[in-house]
Amino acid sequence: AIDPNFDENREAVDEHDGHAVWGPVDEPDQLGIHGTHVAVDFDICLADGACLEDCPVDVFEWVDTPGHPESEIKADPVSEAQCIDCMLCVDVCPVDAIDVDAS
Ligand code: SF4
Ligand code: F3S
Ligand code: ZN
Protein backbone atom coordinates (compact mmCIF):
# COMPACT_ATOMS: atom_id res chain seq x y z
CA ALA A 1 0.00 0.00 0.00
CA ILE A 2 0.98 3.64 -0.46
CA ASP A 3 2.92 5.13 2.46
CA PRO A 4 0.58 7.74 4.02
CA ASN A 5 3.66 9.60 5.31
CA PHE A 6 5.25 9.79 1.86
CA ASP A 7 5.64 13.57 2.13
CA GLU A 8 7.97 13.04 5.10
CA ASN A 9 9.68 9.89 3.91
CA ARG A 10 10.28 10.93 0.30
CA GLU A 11 11.52 13.98 -1.54
CA ALA A 12 9.69 15.89 -4.24
CA VAL A 13 12.00 15.36 -7.21
CA ASP A 14 9.94 16.61 -10.13
CA GLU A 15 6.69 18.17 -11.31
CA HIS A 16 4.21 16.65 -13.72
CA ASP A 17 1.15 18.46 -15.10
CA GLY A 18 1.04 20.84 -12.12
CA HIS A 19 1.55 18.30 -9.34
CA ALA A 20 4.58 17.03 -7.44
CA VAL A 21 6.37 13.76 -8.12
CA TRP A 22 7.83 12.12 -5.01
CA GLY A 23 10.90 9.98 -5.66
CA PRO A 24 12.79 7.87 -6.06
CA VAL A 25 12.23 7.81 -9.82
CA ASP A 26 14.15 5.59 -12.20
CA GLU A 27 12.18 5.31 -15.44
CA PRO A 28 10.67 3.15 -16.71
CA ASP A 29 10.73 0.73 -13.75
CA GLN A 30 10.34 3.12 -10.83
CA LEU A 31 7.96 6.06 -11.17
CA GLY A 32 7.35 7.31 -7.63
CA ILE A 33 4.20 8.96 -6.25
CA HIS A 34 2.24 11.56 -8.25
CA GLY A 35 0.31 14.28 -6.43
CA THR A 36 0.19 15.52 -2.85
CA HIS A 37 -3.38 16.09 -1.66
CA VAL A 38 -4.46 13.21 -3.90
CA ALA A 39 -1.42 10.94 -4.17
CA VAL A 40 -1.12 7.89 -6.42
CA ASP A 41 1.79 5.48 -6.00
CA PHE A 42 2.55 4.72 -9.63
CA ASP A 43 4.69 1.75 -8.60
CA ILE A 44 1.62 0.10 -7.00
CA CYS A 45 -1.14 1.18 -9.45
CA LEU A 46 -2.01 -1.64 -11.85
CA ALA A 47 -4.54 0.34 -13.90
CA ASP A 48 -7.70 -1.08 -12.33
CA GLY A 49 -9.56 2.10 -13.28
CA ALA A 50 -12.09 2.19 -10.43
CA CYS A 51 -10.77 5.55 -9.26
CA LEU A 52 -11.36 7.12 -12.68
CA GLU A 53 -14.85 5.65 -12.88
CA ASP A 54 -15.94 6.58 -9.37
CA CYS A 55 -14.40 9.99 -8.66
CA PRO A 56 -17.38 12.42 -8.71
CA VAL A 57 -15.24 15.38 -9.79
CA ASP A 58 -12.93 13.65 -12.31
CA VAL A 59 -9.63 14.20 -10.55
CA PHE A 60 -7.87 11.41 -12.47
CA GLU A 61 -6.77 10.97 -16.07
CA TRP A 62 -4.86 8.10 -17.64
CA VAL A 63 -1.21 8.73 -18.38
CA ASP A 64 0.99 6.40 -20.42
CA THR A 65 3.83 4.69 -18.59
CA PRO A 66 5.34 2.32 -21.16
CA GLY A 67 7.64 -0.31 -19.75
CA HIS A 68 6.45 -0.17 -16.14
CA PRO A 69 6.23 -3.70 -14.69
CA GLU A 70 2.76 -3.27 -13.05
CA SER A 71 0.91 -1.53 -15.90
CA GLU A 72 1.56 0.68 -18.89
CA ILE A 73 -1.04 3.30 -17.91
CA LYS A 74 -1.56 4.97 -14.53
CA ALA A 75 -4.27 7.05 -12.89
CA ASP A 76 -2.76 10.52 -12.68
CA PRO A 77 -4.32 13.01 -10.20
CA VAL A 78 -4.20 15.89 -12.69
CA SER A 79 -7.07 17.78 -11.02
CA GLU A 80 -6.20 17.13 -7.38
CA ALA A 81 -7.28 20.70 -6.48
CA GLN A 82 -10.89 19.71 -7.36
CA CYS A 83 -10.95 16.90 -4.78
CA ILE A 84 -13.87 17.03 -2.33
CA ASP A 85 -12.38 14.45 0.06
CA CYS A 86 -15.15 11.90 -0.45
CA MET A 87 -12.57 9.07 -0.11
CA LEU A 88 -14.26 6.90 -2.74
CA CYS A 89 -11.05 6.40 -4.70
CA VAL A 90 -9.20 5.31 -1.57
CA ASP A 91 -11.94 2.78 -0.83
CA VAL A 92 -12.26 1.30 -4.32
CA CYS A 93 -8.60 0.91 -5.31
CA PRO A 94 -7.91 -2.83 -5.02
CA VAL A 95 -4.21 -2.35 -4.28
CA ASP A 96 -4.38 0.72 -1.99
CA ALA A 97 -2.35 2.85 -4.35
CA ILE A 98 -4.11 6.13 -3.40
CA ASP A 99 -3.77 8.39 -0.36
CA VAL A 100 -6.04 11.41 0.14
CA ASP A 101 -4.99 13.80 2.88
CA ALA A 102 -8.37 14.98 4.12
CA SER A 103 -7.06 16.48 7.36
FE1 SF4 B 1 -12.14 12.05 -6.24
FE2 SF4 B 1 -13.22 11.60 -3.84
FE3 SF4 B 1 -10.85 10.57 -4.46
FE4 SF4 B 1 -11.06 13.19 -4.07
S5 SF4 B 1 -11.39 11.57 -2.51
S6 SF4 B 1 -9.95 12.19 -5.74
S7 SF4 B 1 -13.10 13.59 -4.89
S8 SF4 B 1 -12.83 10.06 -5.42
FE1 F3S C 1 -4.66 2.44 -10.22
FE2 F3S C 1 -6.05 1.86 -8.07
FE3 F3S C 1 -6.94 3.66 -9.75
S4 F3S C 1 -4.97 0.41 -9.35
S5 F3S C 1 -6.18 2.98 -11.72
S6 F3S C 1 -5.07 3.81 -8.54
S7 F3S C 1 -8.18 2.16 -8.68
ZN1 ZN D 1 1.41 12.91 -12.76
Nearest CA to 59 among 45, 78, 37? 78
Q: Is the ipTM of this complex over 0.90?
A: yes
The ligand minimizing its distance to the Cα of 38 is 1
Ligand 2 pocket member 63 (CB < 6 A): no
Ligand 2 pocket member 1 (CB < 6 A): no
Question: CB–CB of 101/37 below 8 Å?
Answer: yes
The ligand minimizing its distance to the Cα of 90 is 1
What residue ranges define each of the domains in the chain, with the CATH number in brackets?
6-100 (3.30.70.20)
pLDDT in tens, 12-63: 999 999 999 999 999 999 999 999 999 999 999 999 999 999 999 999 999 9
pLDDT in tens, 73-86: 999 999 999 999 99
